Structure formats: C-alpha cells, structure tokens
A and B are shown apart, each in its own frame.
Chain A
Amino acid sequence: MNMISENWLDIGALEDIPRQGARVVKTPRGCVAVFRAADDHVFALDDRCPHKGGPLSEGIVHGHSVTCPLHNWVFDMNSGQAQGADSGQVGTYPVRVSKGRILIDGAELARG
C-alpha cells in the first residue's frame, strides 16, 4: 500500500475551525496552525512567524493569505512564503479534507 496514505491523521472536523480562522495542533516539533479559508480550503503551517515568532494561527485570514498578528507580515498559505517587501518562509504540511474531516500527513509531522 501507499506509505503516505496510511499516515493521514484525522485531526478533527472541518466545522471545528471557523471560516477565516485557525486552530492549532500540538506536535513534537511545536505548534502547527491549521487554517480554514472562506472557501473551505484548509492549510497547515508552522505556527511561528520567522520574523519574531508570532503565532500565525491568531492572524487575520484573507483570501489564501494570513497576516501575522504581531507585526503584520503577510504569508501565502499555499507556499508559506512571506509576501511583499518581507522575505522569509514558514514550513507547510500536506493537509486535506475528506468527508468533512481534516487529515494531515502524520509522517511529515513526526519528522523533526
């Protein structure tokens, strides 16, 4: 069988996260922020801004971007890349929604 598909971890229901909001998953490598955009797309990023360590999960979500609550750095949630004049990147994790459940790649999470 496919190694990856066996490692999809069910972390909760899509409805557990408000639209344009986020929740965190605690992992051995720190918190991972799981975002739900207005269009129900889900993203998983390290919950740590590369600038001053701000919790991205508390940022305002707009389109497929999130703005760090501490100093307004903006990240593209698809790539984790900082936008505009700022440069930096946050780690992203494979995540998907199946039958209303959010599944995250456990292998990626455990590595680290």
Chain B
Amino acid sequence: MGQKLVVIGAGMASGRMLEHLFDTAPGAYEVTLFNGEPRGNYNRLMLSPVLSGEKTYAEIVTHDDAWYGAHGVTCRFGDHVTKIDRDRKVVISKSGETPYDKLVIATGSAPFIIPVAGKDLPGVVTYRDLEDTNAMIAASQPGAKAVVIGGGLLGLEAAAGMAARGAEVTVIHLMGHLMERQLDPAAGYLLQKDLERRGIKVHCKGATKAILGKDRVEAVLLEDGTVYPADLVCMAVGIRPETRLATDAHLEVARGVVVNDQMQTSDPAIYALGECVEHNKQLFGLVAPLYDQAKVLAQTLIGQGAAFQPVQTATKLKVTGVDLFSAGDFAEAPGREDIVFRDPGRGIYKRLIIEGEKLIGAVMYGDTADGAWFFSQIKDSTDITDLRETLIFGPGFAGGPKADPLAAVAALPPEAEICGCNGVCKGKIVQAIEGGATTLDLVRSQTKASSSCGTCTGLVEQVMALTLGDGFAANANPPMCKCTDHTHEDVRRMIKTLGLKSIPAVMQELGWKTVGGCASCRPALNYYLLSDWPLDYVDDRQSRFVNERNHANIQKDGTYSVVPRMWGGVTTPAELRAIADAADKYAVPMVKVTGGQRIDLLGVKKEDLPAIWADLNDAGMVSGHAYSKGLRTVKTCVGSEFCRFGTQDSTGLGIKLEKLLWGSWTPAKVKLGVSGCPRNCAEATCKDVGVICVDSGYQISVAGAAGMDVRETELLCQVATEDEAMEVIAAFVQLYRENSRYLHRIYKWVAKVGLDWCKAQVVEDTVNRRALYDRFMLSQSVYQKDPWAEEPKLRADFAPMMDLSREAAE
C-alpha cells in the first residue's frame, strides 16, 4: 500500500487535486479526506444557480460515494479536525487520531462577519455552503424581505438568487459602486441599473450600524439612519483564509498559509492549496488559479517537478442576463491610457487599459462577446500597436462609423417627454417633422415643443437632426465642457427624462468622453442631480468647489473667511460678543461688515474652521452660506417697527424669507432685499429677488443685478399678504432651481426664458405655484441644515494628516 495522505477540506481545489493524483499515480497514496461539512466535494461555484432554482444540489456534486469508493478514499465528512500534531505526524479530530505521511491543508476560507450588534441573531446567514444556500432558499418566499450586506460578486449572486425566488431584496454596499474591485464606476452603475430592473434595491455608500431584532432578525439599521426590514440577512462582505489549524500548528502563516511554488508549507511534510493559502504575498479566490494549484500539488506529491505560477484571471458574474466582464488591471496609473467606448442606447460600456504597447486590462458591460479575445491579448502580452486604432471594436473589426453623439436621443422611445412645459413627446415631434416641419420655428408652432421656457431646444434640434439627417443645421449652442457634446440644457433635460440619479449614470448614459469629468462639469452635474432628485441623490462632496466643500470662502493666501448668518441683518449684543470672542481667540486678522448686512471674519486657517464654527454654533449662530451657490442674504430696512415711513414690517418679512430659503442650493448665488417703502433703503431693486412694501401689500420684483452687470428688477407680481409673498418667492426660486443652467444668475436665466413665462408658471397658474412651493419644501427637508453643525465629524479631515515639520528639522 502507498503512503498515508490526509486531506483536510473537501473543497473544489482538493477535489481537483485528488483527481489528478489518482489519474497519474493510482495507488501511490492511501487517502483520508476530512470535511467540516457533512458531505463530500461539490461545485461551490454552482451554489448560485441552486439558490436561484436553476439547478439542484444533486446536479452540482462533483464526486460521489462511488468515486470515493473506487479510489479507496476514507471519507470523514462532518468530522472536524481540531489539531495537527506535527511531531507525531497525526491529525486529531472528534473521532480520534489519524496518522499521515503527507498532509494537505485545504481548509478554504471563512466568511468575514462584520462586528455589529445583532450579528448572531437567527436569520443572519453568510453565503458559503449548502446550509447557507438552503437557509436562503427557505427564507425566499414571495414577498419575504431579504437584505444582503455586501455588493461584491458573492453578495450580488445571493441577491439575484433570492430575488429570482420572489423575495424583495435590498443590497447594502459600503463603497460608492458595486463590485468596486472588479468594476470601475461606470460599469458598476450599469450593473446597478440592471439589478434594479430586476426589482433589487441597491444602497451604495451604506454602512451597517446594527442588525435589529428580538428573537430573530427583523431589520438592518444603517449609519445614516435608514432602516430596511428583513426576514433574512445575508452577510457577504468578504472572505478570509481559514488558517486556524495551520496557525495552531505553528506553520508559517501571513494572511494565508504560506506556501512555496510547490505548494509546500514551512513543514516539508505539509502542503496547502486553495483559498487558505498565500503564495508570493497573493491570496486566491477565483477558481482558475486554484485548479492550477491542484495540478501542481498532485505532481509535487508524486515527485514530478512542477511550479505554481499565478496567471491573470477574468471575472464574470453568474447572474443570468447580466453581461459583465473584467480582467487584468484596470486602475489608472502613470503611463497608462484608456480607450473608452460607450453606447448609451444599448447600455454598453467598454474600457481598455493600455500600458506601452500592451493591453493590460479590460472592463466590459452589456456586450462581453469579445471578452475572451481581449483576455487572451492581456495574457499573451500581445503588442497591440498596429491594432490600437480599432482595438476596442474587437477582433472582427474592419473599419466602420464613429460613435454617434446622437445615440442617447436616438434611443429614446417615442413616448419619452422632450418638452416638459407643454408635455410634448418625441413621437409627436418626429411626426411633425415627417409632416414637413423642417425648421425649429415650424416644429415650435406645430407641436408647441420648445416654445415656452426653451430649455429643451437642444433636444428638439437633435430629434430634428436624427429625423432629417444631413438636411438639418442646428443652432450653435456650445457643449457643457470638453467632456461632452451636450449643452447644459440638454443634460438637465436628459437627467429628468432618463431618470439619471448619479454622476456615473449621467456620464454613461450621455456618453461622457472622459473617465471622471472635469472641474467644470462635476459641480454642475452634482447640482443638477441634487436639485432634481433631492430624496434619491446623495450629495457628492468631492464634486463641489472648495468653498462649498469647506463651508467657507477661500482667500488668495489659502485662508478662509467665516460669516455667520444674521437673519435679516438683525443681531444681538450676545451674538456680537460671541463674534468678538471668536475673533480674539483665533487671532482673526480682519473683521469686516459685508454688503449683505452681516460680519465677516477674514483670514481664518483651515484647521481652525471646525473650532470657530463650534464656538459660533454655541452662541446660537449658523453658517451664513457666504460661500455658496445658494441663498446668501436677505437685506432689509427697519420697516414699520421703527421707521416713520415704513408701510409694512420689512425686517420681519426679511427674516421670515431668510428662514424659509436658507440652506437651499441654487444654480448661482441668490440675494434678496426687502424694503419697507418705495424709498427702498434696502436697495431691493438690484437684487435677484426684491420686495417693496406698499400700503396695499408687497411688490415682488425679480432679475436685478449689481455685479458685472447692473440691472433693475422687473415686477413679477403684487400680493396682499406676507404668506402669499413667501409662497410666490419660494416657487420662483424653485422654478429657477429646476430650469436654469449652473452658474447663471437669475437675471441671466430670466433673460433666456422670458419674464412672461415665469409669470405664467408662478403667478397665473396657482396650482403650479403650489406644486413648485411643495417641491421646494421637499428639497429643504433634506438640505436645510447647518453645515457647521454637521462638521464635527469632519474635524479630523480638516487637520493636516501628519506634521513632519518639527521632527524632521531636528
């Protein structure tokens, strides 16, 4: 009889290793196979089809009793090995001691459990073996609620499987996009969209705070306060090598059990393979390298020289109907270049990463037919210099048209709304054009599209270009920035029409030409998204200009100015004392009264900002947003309270307006003025919105300017009560928020859309006015918050990461 070989773990790697061993040297070893699970080798990769109901367990068993019997394998399934005694060369398990000549550790990996309250509740499972799979199948009754924590490969397969069985599934993912280790943000966005189409809810940037429940799991609570009800929670945040036996036996263990090229551990009689090993500082989770290890170990065991060389691996997600491929290295790095191809209409994204003359990485979504070909170019390090021009089109390409900038519009269905003001859909416009409306004016007069606010003009022109072909010459309206061919107006309209709710979504669907946008389009997109989807979109701090990121105005020397809000320009001795104290405490070089009736502390160092805010907060003051594209100030005169000419309480109305509007983000800054009589001491008639109080009520005028351009406001309407004035003004600001392009002040926007159109929207149509007001208030429910009070958590971010100036000087 041969030598005694003991194998701990009946996973995919050890199963494959035994096959090679028995094929090449039958009878060389007498094998004892231990497994913690009460069963033998099965194809763990196929658990996902079992979960989704596409396969049964019996179909994924790789080695059955007959096979073990035929090869004389002693099976110890369900018998946990508790110790390896290297001196006596025995393994110790529940059933006793088993001697070995050679030992193979194939303990695989253990799921990582995030240490939150409730992690041990019944109903919380991982996704590792058949027991977990069966628990998820049992819980996936139609209508049951399941939460998957972790949006990587495993988590998404679990989510898709449970959803296929009828459960309502929510995926919570810590990072900004799904599968961030395999996909870039654009492909992650497309994947999220596909999953959402299958009814799976995806919550990115979600950190789990606790799992709630009394006797079993009931819900998952996130750090941001969101609660998702759950009958079952699957934790799929990651795996780590299962190394406890090896560690206890004092084998060399780093992150995994350390092996050499022959899969040998630090003990010459002990070998290891699979997910539990570390080779050249690398861990392995995908199946291809594990099979290579199996082959190498089988050869090593029978004395044939072999060496394990990890090769590149490609990833595919095993979710039916989701086409995704990633291979190689797709991070940006010095000397690397990208080739990006997007076809928004068909939901296709391809990105190739090139270094020198070689293709080194590929990410594809939607159309992965060429994946294998790209993968072979990567593995073979093919010189792609000659292929480069057409590489992205794959192996079959031989010249063809360039990517079409009109693709996004072409992909819109006929019922897609183009003109929101007049409710005109694409089909109606196409009909009119085909009926002979060959100019914009004709389309306008026949369909009413683009005849109101005009922001959809670019889109109407694109529909015309598509329908008329070369026979159409569009007006020149410059694109938003060098990253795109679309104008601001087009982008705003498409965000609404296509329901785009993230920056990667916009960049993908509208065919952005750069990977991460630029300093010009990113703040604009961030604004458009937060203004259109206040409840769904999460503000992206890193897409904001420095002032809005640091809640203070950067000065030429890199210091900041701090301006607390003084509602309507009214302050108190206590507030003034607090401001004076803060100025002293932080050695503020200049204290200045601003044009907006408040006090500016200039020259504050960045690291002092959180502390000075906290001091001002303690005295009851909040950020004045003197740095924002948002509501700045409401300047008032003293009004009827004190002034002998005052007709109304202009100070009081100013304070009410400021309390109503503060915290709102707008395309550009917004300043108001309220004067108590036509003498206009608050200079209301050169503000974005000005109110002049008269005996009979309030004259509301808009679109003034006193900057690069100087303009007098124009009358919007006169109302009788303060309440009406507030509703009209909030509705007007909302109209501006929803329609203007980024960085256009109100006067520029009104010049474009016309004051008459504004009047029709907020004065004449009172239902629409109310709807605008309600949408403004909805946005305020999210965004009306004092950033200074929110900042304690950012305090550490504002400080230097490290101070080496003193140590190094010694």
Contact = CB atoms under 8 A, between A and B. Distances in A.
Interface of A: 9, 11-12, 16-21, 23-28, 31, 34, 37-41, 52-55, 58-65, 67, 69-70, 72, 74, 78-79, 106, 109-110
Given A26-B803, A38-B516, A109-B804, A20 B542 contact: yes
A29 to B, nearest CB: 9
A41 B333 contact: yes
A12 to B, nearest CB: 5
A40 B180 CA distance: 11
Nearest to A47: B558
A24 to B, nearest CB: 5
A68 to B, nearest CB: 9
Contacts of A25: 800-804
Contacts of B542: 18-21, 60-61
Contact of B517 (A54, A55, A62): A62
12 contacts: A12-B801, A18-B541, A19-B542, A26-B800, A26-B805, A27-B805, A54-B558, A60-B518, A63-B516, A70-B554, A78-B335, A79-B334
B184 interface: yes
A19 B805 contact: no
A58 B546 contact: yes
Contact of A34 (B332, B519, B558, B801): B801
**Which one of A9, A52, A60, A67 has the greatest number of beta carbons of chain B within 10 Å?**
A60
A109 B518 contact: no
B723 interface: no
Contacts of B808: 27-28, 106, 109-110
B185 interface: yes
Contacts of B558: 53-55, 58
A59 B801 contact: no
| Interface size class, chain B | 35 or more
Interface string B775-810: 000000000000000000000110011111100110
A63 B513 CA distance: 12
B556 A52 contact: yes
Contacts of A26: 800, 802-805
B801 A67 contact: no
Nearest to A65: B518
B545 interface: yes
A79 B335 CA distance: 10
Given A23-B800, A25-B804, A39 B554 contact: no
Contact of B519 (A28, A67, A78, A109): A67
A26 B333 CA distance: 25
Given A25-B802, A40-B331, A109-B804, A62 B516 contact: yes
Interface string B557-577: 110000000000000000000
B797 A23 contact: yes
Contacts of A41: 331-333
A40 B240 CA distance: 22
Given A21-B542, A59-B519, A63-B514, A16 B184 contact: no
Nearest to A64: B332
